[in-house]
C-alpha cells in the first residue's frame, strides 16, 4: 500500500504544470466527411439520386479523345461477362436497324493495334469509359480550357524566339 502512495506522489511531481487530469472534450462535435454529424449507432440518410437524362441528344466533348457520354437511361442494363445489353443496339451489325450510333472502329483493335473481326475484349465493358449524365450541380469547380480557346496575348516575344 505504501508503494502505491509513493508512486502516485511521483506521478504528480513528474506531470507538467497545468496538465489536465481528465481528457478534454472538444467544443465542436465530431464531424466525419462521409457520415456528417450522424452518430455511429444511427443510419445516415442517403443523398438524393438525381434522375438520369434521357434526351437521346449527343453531347459535345470537352477534350480530344474524350469518350462520348451515354445520352439515355441504362438502368437495368446487363453489362457483365455473360451479356452486354449495349451491343443489342450499338453493335455495327445492328446500328442501322436500331438507329443507334455504332461502336467506333477503335473498339475493334487489340493492344498491339491489330484490327479484330469482333469487339476487342478490353472494350467490352462500356461503362468503364462511357457514363450516363444527370442534370446536377458540379461537385467540384472546373477551370478546364480547351486548347482552341487559349489565346496568346500580343506583346514582345521571348528572347529565344527573337534569335531565330
CB 52 within 8 A of CB 44: no
Give the list of residues 6+ apart from residue 125 with CB closer than 8 angstroms, or none.
79, 84
Asked if residues 109 and 115 have their Cβ atoms less than 8 Å apart, the reply is: yes
Q: Is 107 annotated as a binding residue?
A: yes
90 labelled ligand-binding: yes
Q: Is the dihedral of CA 145, 147, 152, 157 positive or negative?
A: positive
Instruction: Report whether 12 belongs to an annotated binding site.
Output: no
Residue 89 is labelled as binding a ligand: yes
* Contact predicate 133/50, CB 8 Å: no
Rounded Cα gap, residues 85 and 90, in angstroms: 9
State yes or no: 86 annotated in a binding site: yes
Cβ(106)–Cβ(95) below 8 Å: no
For the annotated binding site for heme c, the residues are 72, 86, 89-90, 107, 126, 129-130
Residue stretches of the annotated binding site = 72, 86, 89-90, 107, 126, 129-130
Amino acid at each position: 500500500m505504501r508503494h502505491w502512495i509513493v508512486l502516485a506522489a511521483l506521478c504528480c511531481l513528474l506531470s507538467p504544470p497545468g496538465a489536465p487530469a481528465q481528457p478534454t472534450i472538444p467544443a465542436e462535435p465530431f464531424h466525419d466527411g462521409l457520415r456528417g454529424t450522424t452518430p455511429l449507432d444511427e443510419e445516415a440518410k442517403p443523398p438524393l439520386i438525381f434522375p438520369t437524362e434521357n434526351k437521346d441528344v449527343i453531347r459535345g466533348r470537352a477534350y480530344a479523345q474524350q469518350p462520348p457520354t451515354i445520352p439515355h437511361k441504362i438502368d437495368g442494363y446487363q453489362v457483365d461477362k455473360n451479356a452486354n445489353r449495349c451491343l443489342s443496339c450499338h453493335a455495327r451489325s445492328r446500328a442501322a436497324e436500331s438507329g443507334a450510333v455504332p461502336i467506333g472502329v477503335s473498339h475493334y483493335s487489340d493492344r498491339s493495334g491489330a484490327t479484330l473481326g469482333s469487339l476487342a475484349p478490353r472494350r467490352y465493358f462500356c461503362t468503364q469509359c462511357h457514363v450516363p449524365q444527370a442534370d446536377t450541380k458540379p461537385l467540384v469547380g472546373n477551370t478546364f480550357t480547351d486548347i482552341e480557346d487559349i489565346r496568346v496575348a500580343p506583346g514582345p516575344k521571348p528572347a529565344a524566339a527573337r534569335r531565330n
